[in-house]
Structure 1
Amino acid sequence: MTYEELCWEPLAALPEGEPETSFGGRWEDRLWLNVPGPFYTGIADNCWTGRLHAPRHVLYGGEYFGEYVYRQPATTAEVLNLVTAAQEDPYRGYACDGDSRWAPEAVRDWWRDRGRVTEYLESLLPRWSSSDRSDEREAAEGLRDFAAYTAEGLDADLRKYLFRLEEGCYPKSSGPLPELR
C-alpha cells in the first residue's frame, strides 16, 4: 500500500454527502470474504457492476455472488472509485465504518483463516477463467489478483491496519509493526 500522506485517513477522502448518501451496509451482514479495513460490504447486489469502477478493490462472492471489498483503498482516487461502486449498488450494501468494528484480534483471526479465502478463490477460478461470459472471465482476473495479494502484500497491509487500530493512524515511518500471529 502506498499512502498519499504521512498520516493517511481514507474516510477523509469521501466526498461531501458521504457516507450518508451511498453507504448503508450493516456489519451484521458483512460477507466473510471482505478484507479487514474501513470499507466492506454487507448485503450488496449481484449485478456485477463494482469491478467496472473499482477493479482492484471489488470482487463477487458468497451465496448470491454479491460484491465485496478485497483490497482497501490507499489513495483518494481509490476511495472515489469505491464510492462510485457503492453508488451503483441498489441495496446500499457498502459500508465504511469498519474501523469502529474491527478489533485487532478479529483482524488476526481473519488472517489465520485466510486459507478458507484462498480455497474459495481457487474453487471459482477454473470456471470463471474458461467461461463463455466476458464478465466472469474479467472477474477471474480479480480472483488471481486477490490470490496473489493474499500470498504477498496483504500481510503488510494488515499489519499497517493493526497499527492504525491500535494507534489511531497509519504508520508514519517504516518502524516496527504489530504482528499478525
Structure 2
Amino acid sequence: MITPYWDPVPTARRLLSLEGSPYATFGTPVFQGEWANRNWRNVPGPFYGADTDCMQFGRDHARDHVAFDDFHEFVFRQPVNERETEALVTAAGWELYNNYAWDGDDHWTPEGVRAWWRERGRVREWAVAAAAAWSSYAENPVYVPHYHDAADGHRDFVAYIDDGLEAYLRGYLFWLDLRREPAPGEALPRL
C-alpha cells in the first residue's frame, strides 16, 4: 500500500517556535543551509543537509533519517510523522554550522525528483561502498561501534532505496504538483 505524503514543515515550524522548548535554546536559526550547497545524496523532500559539518551527531538524534559521507551529513529519509520530524529537527539543531535546510519544496520540481530517481543507482552504489568501508574500519577499537553504526546507516539507506522510497517520492510528486497532501485512495503520479 502506498502511504500518502505528509507535510512535515508545519510541525518543524511549530517545534522551533514553541516558547520554552528545547528547540528555542539552539540560539541561532537552525535551518540556514543553502540549496546550492546541498549534498547530492539527500533524497528529495523539504529537508536536506547542505554544507554541514561532519561531527556525525545527526545519527545520534535521527538515525532513521540522517547518514553521512566523510565530510557532511545528509537526509536519506524524509520524516513522515511528528515524531520523526522532531528527531530531524533535533539532529539539525546539533549541527555545528546550522546547514540543514527545510526549503526543498521551493526548489524540487517533478522533473528534478524524477531525475534523482533515475540516478538512484549512483547513490545506491555509493551507499553500498560506504557501508563496506565503515564496516572495515578497525584502527582504534574504541570507535568500532561508531563505525558499525555508520555502516548500518548506509545499509538502511540502501534498503530504503530498494523498498519504500519510490512510494514516498510518488506522494511527494503529488505534493509538488498540487501543494496538498493526497487523500486516501487518490491516484499518485508515476516516477
Query: Does TM-score exceed 0.5, indicating one fold?
Result: yes
CA–CA separation in structure 1 for the residues paired with 2:116 and 2:177 = 17
- 1:37, distance to aligned residue in structure 2 (A): 0.2
CA displacement 1:52-82 (0-9 Å, x = unmatched): 0000000002xx4310000000011111111
Is 1:134–2:145 an aligned residue pair? yes
SS in 1 for 2:43: coil
CA–CA separation in structure 2 for the residues paired with 1:43 and 1:160 = 27
Q: Any stretches of 5+ residues in structure 1 without a counterpart?
A: none
Aligned position for 2:7: 9
- 1:134, distance to aligned residue in structure 2 (A): 1.8
The answer (yes or no) to whether the contact 1:31–1:42 under 8 Å persists in 2 is yes
Aligned position for 2:99: 93
- 1:130, distance to aligned residue in structure 2 (A): 2.9
Q: TM-score, normalised by structure 2?
A: 0.86
CA–CA separation in structure 1 for the residues paired with 2:62 and 2:132 = 23
Aligned position for 2:141: none
- 1:174, distance to aligned residue in structure 2 (A): 2.3
Worse-superposed segment, 28-37 or 140-149: 140-149
CA–CA separation in structure 2 for the residues paired with 1:128 and 1:117 = 16
Question: Identity, % of aligned pairs?
Answer: 44
The number of residue pairs the alignment matches comes to 175
Q: Which amino acid aligns with 1:171?
A: P
The answer (yes or no) to whether the contact 2:134–2:151 under 8 Å persists in 1 is yes
The answer (yes or no) to whether the contact 1:2–1:74 under 8 Å persists in 2 is no
The answer (yes or no) to whether the contact 1:2–1:75 under 8 Å persists in 2 is no
C-alpha RMSD of matched pairs (Å): 1.8
Q: Which amino acid aligns with 2:52?
A: A
SS in 2 for 1:59: strand
CA–CA separation in structure 2 for the residues paired with 1:57 and 1:144 = 12
SS in 2 for 1:108: helix
Name which one, 1 or 2, has greater alpha-carbon Rg: 2
Q: TM-score, normalised by structure 1?
A: 0.90
CA–CA separation in structure 1 for the residues paired with 2:11 and 2:130 = 33
